[in-house]
Amino acid sequence: MRSSTRIRLIEPADAAPIAAHRVRDVEAFRRWEPEQPADFFTPEGQAERIDRMLAGHRAGTVWPGVVLAGDQVIGQVTVGGILPQPHLRRASLGYWIGSVAQNRGHAGQAVGLALRLMTDELGLHRVEASTNLENLPSQRVLRRNGFSPYGVAHSSIFLDGGWRDGLLWERILGD
């Protein structure tokens, strides 16, 4: 039986496990995640990044979370670009799960939990996401959580040595 999936706000102590996942997965993630500077792969660099994300959280622009299986940090889920104005109330969602924990339903569960948080705690109305056209696992995660594709953003992200199209996804939250 797989261990349960939880999400919580990121903490400074998450820097080391996040760096360890990203070092191990640098090749596996190359097709899907943008290239990162060298300090992204060190606990110290991740600690600085976490400080910046928590400052964004205090400012209300981001909810930076980690995904847990049992008590182990296995990935991140980030509600970013929060626009809380009453006529917008929207944000975008990003996530990754370390290769050692993939294909056990953790991302699907984590996105479901993030949707609940966006509705109940952040009071949002709409969430958007973007996937590579060939990233079928990520598309499955979104479909399973009620997202629909609504367009293609051409040449929108530089990944693995070239500009790639992004498949755009939307989900209207319970209102």
Ligand X SMILES: CC(C)(COP(=O)(O)OP(=O)(O)OC[C@H]1O[C@@H](n2cnc3c(N)ncnc32)[C@H](O)[C@@H]1OP(=O)(O)O)[C@@H](O)C(=O)NCCC(=O)NCCS
Alpha-carbon gap, residue 106 to 54, rounded angstroms = 23
* DSSP letter assigned to residue 101: G
* Residue placing its CB nearer to ligand X in the complex, 56 or 112: 112
Quick one: which of 33, 39, 165, 170 contacts ligand X (CB under 6 A)?
33
CB of 58 to ligand X, least distance (A): 26
Output the smallest distance, CB 93 to ligand X, in A: 9
147 near ligand X, judged by CB under 6 A? no
169 binds ligand X (CB under 6 A): no
Task: State which of residues 95, 114, 145, 168 lies at the interface with ligand X (CB under 6 A).
Answer: 95
3 state DSSP class of 87:
coil
Among 141, 167, 168, 173, binds ligand X (CB under 6 A): 141
Tokens of 24: 């191990």
Pairing verdict, β 90-97 and 126-132: parallel
- Sequence-distant (6+) residues with CB within 8 A of 170 are 126, 127, 128, 129, 147, 148, 150
When asked if residue 166 is in the footprint of ligand X (CB under 6 A), the reply is no
Nearest CB to ligand X, comparing residues 50 and 129 = 129
Among 22, 89, 90, 106, binds ligand X (CB under 6 A): 106
Output the CA–CA distances (angstroms, integers) from residue 11 to 16, 66, 111, 126, 134, in the order listed. 11, 9, 19, 26, 32
Q: Which helix (H) or strand (E) holds 5?
A: strand 5-9
Binder among 73, 107, 122, 168 for ligand X (CB under 6 A): 107
**What residues make contact with ligand X under the rule CB under 6 A?**
29, 32-33, 95-97, 102-108, 131, 135-138, 140-141, 144
